[in-house]
Chains A and B, each alone.
Chain A
Amino acid sequence: MSDIRFTEDHEWIGMDGDIATVGITDYAQQQLGDVVYVELPEAGRKVTKGGDAAIVESVKAASEVYAPVDGEVTEANAALSGNPALVNSAPMGEGWFFKIRVSDKKQVAALMTEAAYKTFIAGLK
């Protein structure tokens, strides 16, 4: 996963061949607080860019996680069902949400780079 891209909804996406791994950013997990539950899409589900793909919950809030690009879900992170705290401790690593087979890689390239995302969140504070 050499190149990681970011969305304005605070998802990250890392490419490995045709398969992308998707999670939420460190900024997002800080905003949410302790994650208590993650609802993940089942393998085989088609997702579209900007559409609902997962739900992440803290004690007092539930947030949608959107698909950053079009594609088909190939795997969900089973570790999160038993240990949702991984989203807090390792949002960009073990706390990943799901993998998708990307339909159009150009959609990935159009997303923010890490530097652009950093500037973006700096503007939110």
Chain B
Amino acid sequence: MRYLAHTEADRRAMLKEIGAPSIESLFRDVPEAAQLRAPLDLPDRMTELEVDRAISALAAKNRSAATMACFLGAGAYRHHVPAAVDHLIQRGEFLTSYTPYQPEIAQGTLQSLFEFQTQVALLTEMEVANAGMYDGSTACVEAVMMANRLTRRQRVVVSGGLHPHYRETIETYGRFGGFTVVSADLDVEGRENLADLIDADTSCVVVQNPSFFGQLRDHQTLGAAARAAGALLVCVVTEAVSLGLVTPPGAMGADIVACEGQSLGNALGFGGPYVGLFATREKFLRQMPGRLVGETVDVENRRGWVLTLSTREQHIRREKATSNICTSSGLCALAFTIHLALLGEVGLARLAEINHALAVGLADRLAAVPGVEVLNNTFFNEFTVRLPLPAAPVVEALAERGILAGVPVSRLYPNRPDLAGLVVVAATETNTKAEMDHYAAALAEVL
């Protein structure tokens, strides 16, 4: 077996050194009842070529977004990732190292995470950011639990514009973690008034900008209302590229920001692994979940970085930790950092402008199709359209024509027949004008 290191002679010699007759004898603590009685029903080893063939055959059964015109968003976005990113994250020193517990020999990972924390704080306009969470949805529920700890309250108000997977995740944690989730009605057009739902027991209000339906909204007033009631404002962003163009959560008075970082550096990958961005105010630092990298010096007074404030974490605080998170999303955070380093200030601004302009162009093309209505008056690179027919079959029919036309809202809200005609549509820099023309023409044909 190509990954195993020993010959049979090695094994015999080593067993002799140990004083054991066989490898099996080393398993003598396994009780009789737990020993394997029949061979496992699995195939034997395969060569690299055989495995490559078998798994490539499964990949070939998929129709990837790269082979179609992809207008899907709803929490995961197809962007062009510069080739340098994947090259760098495949360096073995990054790929095959552990969480940087030994700072003397992990400065590469530590410095890049310090850069990541800085980038996230700058993007969100918040004071401090951690070294990453699993993804946007889990960052969001961690933000909620942090708000509960900070306010010592157990009632969470959730916007009707929050990604439904994020809301469902909060509901699961709430049901078993002992907090109440008050979910506002679905808010396609960004008109809800969440301030009315805040009461003296409310720990936080969770909003998303742009919303799940693409709508932009200034949450400054809501944040003030929350604070007046002793609650916090949690802002969610699922499209990190929007932060290059849109007013960031920090400028809207957010207390905690949870963001999906996939858009920068990370492939769609059928939903994961991604990386969650998590930022807050400095005064809330001690209740923050996740790892933090801090600057210090070594004994020769040379600048360096270490994992710090670890007493918040499970390996020290155990049942009193701020979170149970351990392994996080380090390599995805590195990819994010490299992509953003390549973009820089002008690159990110330009990328965001292009995304927005293309989405405006697509919205106008689709609005011109008879029977199709664009529901957003504001958006970044994603908006919601209402079709005169149930959307799911239309999306299937367009997939036949090589177009991933959007996410039918019915896939996420199957119990809302009133929303069956809605599709959430996104455009990014990967979409060409020809693709958009093709989409509009094909939609007109299908309807």
Check whether chain A touches chain B (CB < 8 angstroms): yes
Complex Cα–Cα for A94 and B166 (A): 48
Assembly CA distance A59 to B311 (angstroms)? 7
Q: Which residues of B contact A59 (CB under 8 A)?
A: 310-311
Number of interface residues of A (CB under 8 A): 8
Q: Mark A15-52, 1 if CB is under 8 A from B, else 0.
A: 00000000000000000000001010000000000000
Residues of A contacting B309 in the complex (Cβ-Cβ under 8 angstroms): 37
**Between A and B, how many residue pairs show CB distances below 8 Å?**
17
Instruction: Provide the bound-state CA to CA distance between A37 and B317, in Å.
Output: 14
Minimum Cβ distance to chain B for residue A28 (Å): 16
Alpha-carbon distance A59/B317, docked complex (angstroms): 12
- A72 contacts chain B at the CB level, 8 A cutoff: no
Cα of A96 to Cα of B309 in the assembled complex, Å: 22
In residues 76-107 of chain A, which contact B (Cβ within 8 Å)?
none
Cβ contacts under 8 Å, A61 to chain B: 311, 316
Q: Determine how close the nearest CB of chain B comes to the CB of A90; give it in whole angstroms.
A: 22
Tell whether B286 is near chain A: CB-to-CB under 8 Å: yes
Q: Mark B303-321, 1 if CB is under 8 A from A, else 0.
A: 0000001110000110010
Is A116 in the interface zone, CB < 8 Å from B?
no
* B-side interface mostly: helix
CA distance A39 to B309 in the complex (A): 13
Judging by beta carbons under 8 Å apart, are B317 and A62 in contact?
A: yes
Q: Tell me which residues across on chain A come within 8 A of B286, comparing CB atoms.
A: 37, 39
Interchain CA distance A57-B311 in the complex, whole Å: 7
Closest to B315 in A: A60
Please encode chain B, from 86 to 122, with 1 for each CB lying within 8 Å of some chain A CB and 0 for all others: 0000000000000000000000000000000000000
CA–CA, A57 to B308, complex, Å? 12
- Interface residues in B268-316 by Cβ distance below 8 A to A read 286, 309-311, 316
Chain B minimum-CB-distance residue to A52: B320
| Smallest beta-carbon distance A97→chain B, Å | 17
Contacts of A57 in B (CB 8 A): 311
A37, A58, A62: most-surrounded residue (chain B CB, <10 A):
A62
In the A-B complex, the 8 residue pairs with the smallest Cβ-Cβ separation, listed nearest first, are A62-B311, A57-B311, A62-B317, A62-B316, A60-B316, A61-B316, A60-B310, A61-B311
User: Interface of B with A (CB < 8 Å)?
Assistant: 286, 309-311, 316-317, 320
Which residues does A use to contact B, with CB under 8 Å? 37, 39, 57-62
Q: List 17 A-B contacts (CB under 8 A).
A: A37-B286, A37-B309, A37-B311, A39-B286, A57-B311, A58-B311, A59-B310, A59-B311, A60-B310, A60-B311, A60-B316, A61-B311, A61-B316, A62-B311, A62-B316, A62-B317, A62-B320
